[in-house]
Amino acid sequence: MKKGQFARIAFFAFALVWILPLVLLLLSAFRPLQELRKGFFHLGGVWTPGNFQLAFDEGVKSYFLNSVLITAGGVLVPFAAGACAAYAIAFYSFTFRKPFYLLLLSTMVLPIQLILIPLFGTLRTLHLMNSFWGVIFVHGAFGLGFSVFHFVNFFKNVPRELLEAATVDGASIYQIFLRVALPLSLPAIVSYLGLQGIWVWNDLLVSFTFLTSPEKHPLTVGLVNLQSPHFPRWEVVSAGAFLSILPPLFIFSFLQRAYTRALFEGSVRG
């Protein structure tokens, strides 16, 4: 077992190296800039939350709130639209059911760049330029395929007898959806909210393109603004970056399993 011991130690060292970028982020988020400038191995200096205060002064607080709002909308809209459509697709038959499903799924494969340019005009016509709703609807449309796919896959495993029993009891199709199908799919809902939430929270491109005024920017765009290439204030940017990765890390640690399953559904988008 000596060989195994060596492999373990080597892997442990590898893991330490792997995580160093995150350590570097901690070092620069929690210490004054002049300490950071002394080099990576200089660990001295006071560890203070002062950089976060600086970051808040630079608008990170409002960036954070905007991120929360955009994420909430960008998750709920495709969830509502997708779960309804998935319910119809999974349990009922209608004309053009299959083509409709495949069309929705296409949003999962094609890149967002395909729709980005004309959306500029569409959003302007609808007066949704520089508005959270515009960004939310774009996330809604682009996230639709994943949402429908996720819920159809889940609904497929719901026993049809349950629905038929409810119908016999006189429940309407709406009641069955709200009282039977949705409560049964709670695990699927939770994992969907988490996965889509991380996706929207981490998005740069949509918000950057369609939100023009800085007071509406979410964290990702805010970080890019702060990280001006000519005069980078590393301590401020690092504090902001640190704040921005906390929520997704938190959600992710809960949803590790769901992540794996979703990956096997083939539902990774980009």
d(CA 252, CA 22): 16
Residue 32 carries which side chain, given as an amino acid letter?
A: P
CA atoms in the 13 A half-sphere facing the CB of 133: 7
The residue from 13, 19, 43, 190 that contacts other proteins (CB under 8 A) is 19
Residue 91 C-beta: closest distance to other proteins, Å: 8
Residue 48 C-beta: closest distance to other proteins, Å: 18
Is 6 near other proteins (CB under 8 A)? no
Residue 59 C-beta: closest distance to other proteins, Å: 16
Whole-angstrom CA distances from 214 to 116, 218, 223 are 20, 9, 11
Residue 149 C-beta: closest distance to other proteins, Å: 10
How many residues are listed for the chain in this entry? Answer: 270
Is 234 near other proteins (CB under 8 A)? yes
Query: Going residue by residue from 201 to 230, which x/- string records binding to other proteins, judged by CB under 8 A?
Result: xxxxx---x----------x--xx--x-x-
Residue 167 C-beta: closest distance to other proteins, Å: 6
Is 40 near other proteins (CB under 8 A)? yes
Number of residues engaging other proteins in binding (CB under 8 A): 96
Name residues contacting other proteins, limited to 154-183 (CB under 8 A): 163-164, 167, 172-174, 177
Is 82 near other proteins (CB under 8 A)? yes
Residue 163 carries which side chain, given as an amino acid letter?
A: L
Is 259 near other proteins (CB under 8 A)? yes
Rounded to a whole number, what is the distance in angstroms from the first to the last CA of the chain? 43
Of 266, 249, 268, the C-alpha closest to 201 is: 249
d(CA 138, CA 141): 5
CA atoms in the 13 A half-sphere facing the CB of 168: 6
The residue from 77, 152, 193, 211 that contacts other proteins (CB under 8 A) is 77
Residue 157 carries which side chain, given as an amino acid letter?
A: N
d(CA 267, CA 261): 9
- Residue 82 or 185: which CB sits closer to other proteins? 82
The residue from 21, 44, 99, 170 that contacts other proteins (CB under 8 A) is 21
Name residues contacting other proteins, limited to 41-70 (CB under 8 A): 41
Residue 126 C-beta: closest distance to other proteins, Å: 8
Of 203, 87, 44, the C-alpha closest to 136 is: 203
Name residues contacting other proteins, limited to 86-145 (CB under 8 A): 87-88, 92, 94, 100, 103-104, 107, 109-122, 137-138, 140-142, 144
> Residue 5: how many CB atoms within 10 A of its CB?
9
Is 24 near other proteins (CB under 8 A)? yes
Phi then psi dihedrals of residue 74, to 5 deg? -70, -10
